[in-house]
Amino acid sequence: MAKIAFLFPGQGSQTVGMAGEIAGTYESAAQIFKQAESILGESFTSLMKNGPQEELTKTYNAQPALLTSSVAILEVLKEKGVHMDYAAGHSLGEYSALVAAGALSFEDALKAVRKRGELMEEAVPDGQGSMAAVLGMERSALKDVTDEITDQGDEVQLANLNCPGQIVISGSAAGVEKASSLAKERGAKRVLPLNVSGPFHSSLMKPAAEKFQHELANISISNAQVPVVANVTADAVFESEKIEKLLVAQLYSPVLWEDSIEQLISLGVDTFVEAGPGKVLSGLVKKINRKATVYPVYDQETLEVAVAALKGE
């Protein structure tokens, strides 16, 4: 029997009006928006619906907005009888995956990601850290580059291992700049600086992770009811204690996305449903394994396509 994994996007996928059509059509999705409004205020859901995009893109807004959109879509998929065997989320998306798996309540996850976003914004002064996407270079060769620059005193490391030939590096502004130049010298096809507010998934996030650990101590994490493949290890986890430790480590550790998808495929998954704005993860899955079936669900039309295919209607 083929297995289904639900995937949840991370920061960068946010768009004004995301999940708005679905929330306007289904009461279960509208309820998630209402819950977000009662926790974070009317101005928050108004920002999701109306923008401006620049304000929505700020880390402390983007994170709870993406979680809200993904969970709203998740509720409708469940209502339609589409169920998952596994869950995974890219970086921030891991929180949506944990809500989907019953390890976190939506309310606790929302409070946690708002705080996570604030701490990530505060961790490194503006302009002192950065990230860049390196295209067309092997993982081991790029790691040699980042290790070399770090050893010379400018911190930089692999941050997102997204799919073959697409790796994001993160660290100090000088470290990322030097590693970008050296990567090009050593055969990278292209290096694209990313418009982000900090060096996410790098060791520069350790101070944020320490503060975040105290925040997580105040929320209830349960054992997951379906396995969640964690970013930090690319292994399936159930246990609440392990989940908590991995969420702290996730702030300063690489996102092993390619490995996570490979792991899901090895566990028998052949169909992936991406619940959230856009279809970035669907594209990455196809680059990792062309045979995989993917259904991005972000509006009424894509929802109907996925439900018809998965329910055999």
The set of catalytic residues is: 91, 201
Tokens, residue 72 = 């709203």
**258, amino acid identity:** E
Chain CA centroid to CA 37, Å: 22
End-to-end CA distance of the chain: 18
Specify the DSSP element, H or E, that contains 193.
strand 190-193
DSSP state letters, 100-162: HTTSS-HHHHHHHHHHHHHHHHHHS-TTSEEEEEEES--HHHHHHHHHHHHHTT--EEEEEEE
Specify the DSSP element, H or E, that contains 214.
helix 206-216
Answer whether 251's CB lies under 8 Å from 116's CB. Answer: yes
Cis upstream peptide for 52 (omega within 30°): yes
In which region does residue 19 sit, left (phi positive, over 0), alpha (psi from -120 to 50) or beta (all else)? left
Question: Cα–Cα distances in Å, from 77 out to 104, 161, 177, 275, 300?
Answer: 18, 28, 43, 9, 11
Which single residue is written with the structure tokens 């295209």? 135
